[in-house]
Amino acid sequence: MELRLRAPAPSSTRGTVVSPTLHRRSSALPIQKRLAGSSISVSRRGAAARSPCSTLMAAAYNTGTADLVDFNWDTLGFQPVPTDFMYIMSCSSDGVFTNGELVPYGPIQLSPAAGVLNYGQGLLEGLRAHRKEDGSVLLFRPEENALRMRIGADRLCMPAPSVEQFLSGVKQTVLANKRWVPPTGKGSLYIRPLLIGSGAILGVAPAPQYTFVVYVCPVGHYFKDGLSPISLLTEEQYHRAAPGGTGDIKTIGNYATVVSAQKRAKDKGHSDVLYLDPVHKKFVEEVSSCNIFMVKDNVIITPLLTGTILPGITRRSIIEIAGNLGFQVEERLIEIDELLDADEVFCTGTAVVLSPVGCIVYHGRRVEYGNGKVGAMSQQLYSALTAIQKGLAEDSMGWSVQLS
């Protein structure tokens, strides 16, 4: 990857993007040495005094080798773990993104009038990188995330990085943090691209400047019990999205609105929340952060994308994998009563991968699936998907991108 990046010139204009204030971590030094002979440059600008938390994390992880950090990979869950570098690229009012750079992972300073802080003008994406046995790293369908971010940006009146810029930022960030990619079978590196309105704005209007950020974090299973079946509580008061809204893009506001219902569900012992449509209140839509499927008489069915459901990349991949395996797949409206009568139910998403559903509670009625075991269809599709993602099976679809 032939790309030399330089730091943007400092700005003295009030109300523009404030230069990132970043905590430098001593654990980044081996990476800087390893990158010294590569075509990727690392900015050393913006270093600040290290916080106590950052100091402790650096002390804990400043061991191991240049290829793999010394870390107890068996303890990985799905929570933040500071890594070495992140990627930042900005654009001004002309809408052109330039001067992307790798910088030490740490806080980003924003104006309190930033568009993302005041009016939620922001998008997020999520994808994973897996380490193969030969040490190389695989990305799964990253161009789909780039395209989805561009669609969301158009909806929120934001400029967006080109597909090439998005992919370059993701690849550079993963390679700079390669020692944080868990060993084969121990997890994956979760990649979080962000696009935010970083410029100051007081009235309701598009922000004058925007920032594209990519950071990474090693993760294990999203749900604490891994592939074990999860429990869903059907939400009867709130709705995740409405027709004509933003339910079909990954805007940050979509996730803030599900936290209350999700917390109530977890307080009752459930894993997550199942949402119904806001008009008829009987058609299944999706879970808080993932799509949903059902299996009936060996037919795989998932809700039709009607504008209120996120077009998940894992969802699309499962549909294509199932079709290649010879299964009948239907995308159509699903009433809640039909879901409760299914043979199997499972969720899909970048974070959850494929999670079987063990029970759903609706109007106080508890319906269980599979006697607490993973269904045969769920297991087959999970195995087929993850084999491609981890490089254990031939990628006849051309989905994987290998980083050496």
Catalytic residues: 250
Query: Encoding tokens for residue 49?
Result: 């005094």
Q: How far apart are CA 25 and CA 234, in angstroms?
A: 44
Length of the chain: 404
Q: How far apart are CA 215 and CA 82, in angstroms?
A: 9
Q: CB-based contacts of 148: which residues, under 8 Å, 6+ apart?
A: 125, 249, 250, 311, 313
Burial state string for 365-380 with b = 16 or more CB within 10 A and e = fewer than 16: eeeebbeeebbebbbe
Query: Encoding tokens for residue 7?
Result: 């730091």
What proportions of the chain, in percent to the nearest 5, are helix, strand and coil? 25, 30, 45
Closest Cα partner for 226 from 340, 355, 341? Answer: 355
Q: How far apart are CA 333 and CA 378, in angstroms?
A: 21
DSSP code, position 183: P
DSSP code, position 98: E
Burial state string for 48-83 with b = 16 or more CB within 10 A and e = fewer than 16: eebeeebeebbeebeeeeeebbebeeeebeeeebbb
